[in-house]
Amino acid sequence: MKCTNRKRIPALCLIIVLIFCMAGCGSSGYSMNYDLNSSVSAYRFISGDNSGTRADSFAQDLCVINGDVSVNSIDSSEAEAVLLCNINAREVLYGKNANLQLNPASLTKVMTAIIALKKGNLDDVLTASENVEITESGASLVGIKAGDTMTLAQALHALLIPSGNDAAVMIAEYIAGSEEAFVDMMNEEALSLGATNCHFMNSHGLTAEGHYVTAYDMYLIFNEAIQYDEFIQIISTSEYSGVYHNAAGDPKELSFNNSNWFLNGNHETPDGVMVIGGKTGTTSAAGNCLVLLSKDSSGNPYISVILKSSGREYLYDEMYDLINLVNH
């Protein structure tokens, strides 16, 4: 019996070693507790491709949030979702319902701008189709008509400063041939950025079933947009004017002010904080929305997002308190 036991012990050890090797012990692979259907973009995989033995987190250079974060307390009771991220430190300073899917209204146009800047040429001349003549009540328009022509640079100014829905359609058709094809590009880009809990149905943000973002996904999208110098230049512009042409070649004037209260002087900014620019959005379904790029007194950048505030004054008052947290 004793001899038999001595022979079985090494054999048992060999079996255990083989099991661990088959399981990947000592290799570069490891299991990750990620959920394909997670409500948190940073913890969700879309692709089922497991050909690689090890994957670095897409969020290794980004802020990540799972649950509310309140390093410093502020009143954000009038907003459904709130987020403040320190870009360089990759730190969430404040978060409320950051993974809640909500209607983004014209914050949608940040993604429209990304696709345009990524795929288009700023000097290209765009020609408007009849689809730019949106008749929905309350739609923000700059007055583009079928046959009008303008450069992509002009169209982006019309898209981002006064939030022209007609400019969004004009850009979408220029880039992809149709708004439907452009929307496919928007959703593909969102997935590539890790913004897996948002979905777009149009290029402008007018209310549509299945059109939504989260505050966290909006952070991911805006963080990509600010990699383009032209985007930052446009969102930081307080007023703009230019000349484009109608179908007959006659000149037409573009002239508008930024709808962002921090840039047009309708609301003060906190001491020690510089608001570079952002994007506004308002519909009855989305409430009042705002995403901002700001910097503290040392030049460190921050992204802040508020979705579905109950009123415009509340939106800017609570955004003021939010970005003021960078001083604490």
Active-site residue set? 106, 109, 163
The 3-state secondary structure of 191-213 reads HHCCCCCCECCCCCCCCCCCCEE
| Spatial contact of 98 and 216, defined as CB atoms under 8 Å apart | yes
Q: Provide the token pair at 109.
A: 């146009």
Residue 253 β-bridge partners: 243
Find the farthest-apart pair of alpha carbons in the chain and give their distance in angstroms, rounded.
105
| Closest by Cα among 256, 180, 217, 7 to 97 | 217
Indicate the pairing of strand 69-70 with strand 149-151.
Answer: unpaired
Alpha-carbon distances, residue 195 vs 38, 58, 136 (angstroms): 12, 11, 29
Q: Could you give the CA distance from residue 87 to residue 91 in angstroms, rounded to a whole number?
A: 7
